[in-house]
Chain A
Amino acid sequence: MKEEFTITAYTENQVGLLTRLSAMFSRRKINIESLNTSPSEATDIFRFTIVIRETEEVVRKLVRQVEKQVEVLKVYFNTDTEIVWQEVALYKVPTDVIAEKVKVERLLREHGARAVVIRKDYTVFEVTGHREETDNLVQVLEPFGLIEFVRSGRIAIIKASNGFHEKLREFEEENPGEETSTNLYLNQKEAVFSM
């Protein structure tokens, strides 16, 4: 059964790595639903957050191949219940509509929208939340002349993770301890694995 997985990859900051990783998805005709790159908690280590809909088996195999790439240190994959995640959306609406219609202002408040820019001609609101929440507001605003809408990629925190500092120290050891090479089969119940 296909479900949503969030893949978190800790990598070196290397030009071309994005192509290498995204090609691994497109090769299998897997659509990347969302992709975000950012710094991570560890200095100089990048963090990719990639969301796809696939079966666990496909994800597991794919993730192993991603982790094998020379500049990738570690990859985790998680279902939605195992992570805390957010996306940011921006909405541009005509200012006069909002000013005139009290209802709109109420709706915006109900959806937790925050005005980022207010000009005479338009206002930009921001909502942070899950996909459904940001999507809902689009529906709501459409009748009121929504001018522009954009949503960021998902960013996610893994609930069970202790962060990457410790792992990175292990990776920097020339002869890593067994911990670095956590074997999937030793902790099969964990959705996390590594080499």
Chain B
Amino acid sequence: MTATQTKTAGQTTPTEQISGSEIVIRALLAEGVETVFGYPGGAIMPIYDALFDYQEQLHHVLVRHEQGGIHAAQGFARVSGKTGVVFATSGPGATNLVTGLADAMIDSTPLVCITGQVFAHLLGTDAFQEVDVINITTPVTKWNFQVTDASEIAPALAKAFFIAKSGRPGPVVVDITKNAQIQETDFAGYEPCKFLRSYRPKPIVRTEYIREAADLINAAKRPFVLFGQGVILGNAEREFQDFIEKGGFPAAWTLLGLSALPTEHPLNVGMLGMHGNYGPNVLTNECDVLIAVGMRFDDRVTGRLDRYARQAKVVHLDIDPSEIDKNVKADVPVWGDCKETLPLLTALLEPKTHPEWLQRFREHDLEEATQVIFDELHPAENRELTMGEVLRYLNELTDGEAIVVTDVGQHQMVASRYAKFRQTRSNVTSGGAGTMGFALPAAIGAKFGAPDRTVVAIAGDGGFQMTMQELGVIQQEGTAVKIMILNNRFLGMVRQWQELFLNRRYSFTDIVSPDFVKVAEAYGIRGAQVSERSNLKNAIQTMLETPGPYLLEVLVGKENNVFPMVPQGCGVGEIRLR
């Protein structure tokens, strides 16, 4: 390394000659990154070589598959609110990230993925492990960029971190050719990026709309608030709670808004959508003003749009102008970060309560409790174990303090419906993409993101087998993740649809599984299987109390269904209780 001096802005900054790889590591440290999930390979070896000297400052978690790496980074980001960082090599290493990128894109998770690429002079020659990563990842990234010269690395990474985290967050890919990693260049320190002229992370808040929204809301007789992940992404949980408390609004959550408001909050009326609660779905079609906060009216939430809240005036608070009117027409669009817009709106609210309107929710709750919930949580002695009772014990034993990471399927819906939360950023699941195999690696990442909290992964027998090789990470790192496999010997969610809509033609949904406890054991992870109700609570308690990682397989009923359900193609008012 040779030190020279350059002049910047009147003062001298020492520059040094360092390699592109070294710049990558220094940039990560300057961005405050402490954990990276990754997998090495030829085209990214120089970066790994540089990393070798920084192991104390930068903890690298060696995953077992790049998909596991990116899901881990997602779990990390979702619980910590920080940006997840992933390393992968060129070609297959990079393509293995694609599922996770798509998942992070639709669920707005901030990630910076650094992929190695072949030497710049080989680009386009079908070189070994050359894949056109930029074009493959374009539709599933918020931004991507290929670096071919070491001098571009620092500015590209600065942009990457800025874009990933600001505004509506999302994943970015920085593809760095091997020559750029090796090349030595002048480095005068890392300059974070705070501004790009072509990029407006947040639209400017328009006070006109705040006023208009407040007038509409103040005049409402049956106001109803829907909240989504935007509340969490905007760190606006406090502002949100103030808002609903002042107006006395019943508030229901989307799958990704879950945990933004404590489950036991008196105004929390439950879950929206296909497998959501009865009241919130039915009463969507009876409210007079619908106030959507940081949610994007996903079709799993709205069901048929022409039967969705036609009677209501809609106020939509969203940071992303392209979400306004995308699915549901807004009468008053409140563009902006809800961290800023909510307090402005709250200030104009008349303090109110809506006891009769809230009572309507209670009545529907009672109906749902008698027809669905009670049997799910307290099944008759002769019934096989239900997923609901597993969640009931988990709630009791963790007191709602755990982070729950779910996979995709019936168990995901049951866990979301019944898990209780006291803290925000406690529910991690793959919402928009519904990526099976998400839970295990995401839970591992979540544990790195929140090392002091209990992290419970809940997966089905199907999804668990999609990424179960990540048990190797737990073995190597000793990550204290608690894993619950709710095994119904079926690809349950698909089987449920086959039962309800396809005359029980169970086409390729019965799935055989290995002995999961033995698999865990092979990785040095303690575990147990439970199939008896009398042992269930103890088994969960043992899982939670055993220090370190633990795998508990629960044999639940084979053909239990998740209800309520808004069948596809129906309106929310047509929700079925059985």
Where the two chains meet, the residues of A that have a C-beta atom closer than 8 Å to any C-beta of B are 11-12, 15-16, 19-20, 23-24, 27, 60-61, 64-65, 67-68, 70-73, 168, 171-172, 174, 176, 178, 180-181, 183-186, 195
Contact = CB atoms under 8 A, between A and B. Distances in A.
Contacts of B321: 64, 67-68, 184, 195
B370 interface: no
B206 A176 contact: no
A137 B307 CA distance: 52
Contacts of B326: 61
Contacts of A73: 197-198
A185 B197 contact: no
Nearest to A185: B333
19 contacts: A11-B198, A15-B146, A16-B144, A16-B145, A19-B134, A19-B135, A23-B138, A67-B322, A68-B320, A70-B142, A72-B198, A73-B198, A171-B197, A176-B200, A178-B204, A181-B200, A184-B321, A186-B206, A195-B335
B139 A27 contact: yes
A195 B200 contact: yes
A7 to B, nearest CB: 15
B203 A181 contact: yes
Contacts of B138: 16, 19-20, 23
Nearest to B208: A186
Interface residues of B, number: 29
Nearest to A73: B198
Contacts of A11: 198
B233 interface: no
B195 interface: yes
A195 B203 contact: yes
Contacts of A171: 197-198
Given A19-B138, A23-B139, A68-B321, A174 B195 contact: yes
A73 B198 CA distance: 4
Interface in B169-223: 194-200, 203-204, 206, 208-209
A65 B293 CA distance: 20
A68 B145 CA distance: 17
Interface of B: 134-135, 138-139, 142-146, 163, 194-200, 203-204, 206, 208-209, 320-322, 325-326, 333, 335
Which of A11, A60, A195 has the most chain B CB within a 10 Å cutoff?
A195
A185 B142 contact: no
A70 B138 CA distance: 12
* From B144, B198, B200, B322, residue with most partner A Cβ within 10 Å: B198
A72 B325 CA distance: 21
A183 B336 CA distance: 12
Nearest to A64: B322
Contacts of B208: 186
A72 B203 CA distance: 15
Nearest to A60: B325
A183 B198 contact: no
Given A64-B322, A185-B333, A70 B198 contact: yes
A180 B206 CA distance: 12
Contacts of A65: 322
Nearest to B332: A185
Contacts of B320: 68
A67 B199 CA distance: 9
The 10 closest A-B pairs by CB, nearest first: A64-B322, A181-B204, A70-B143, A171-B197, A73-B198, A65-B322, A70-B199, A195-B203, A195-B321, A20-B138
A106 to B, nearest CB: 50
A20 to B, nearest CB: 5
Nearest to B333: A185
Contacts of A195: 200, 203, 321, 335
Contact of A61 (B146, B204, B322, B333): B322
A20 B134 CA distance: 10
Nearest to B134: A16
A68 B198 contact: no
Given A16-B138, A172-B197, A183-B203, 11 more contacts: A12-B198, A16-B145, A20-B138, A27-B139, A64-B322, A73-B198, A171-B197, A174-B194, A181-B203, A185-B333, A186-B206
A86 to B, nearest CB: 27
A12 B142 CA distance: 16
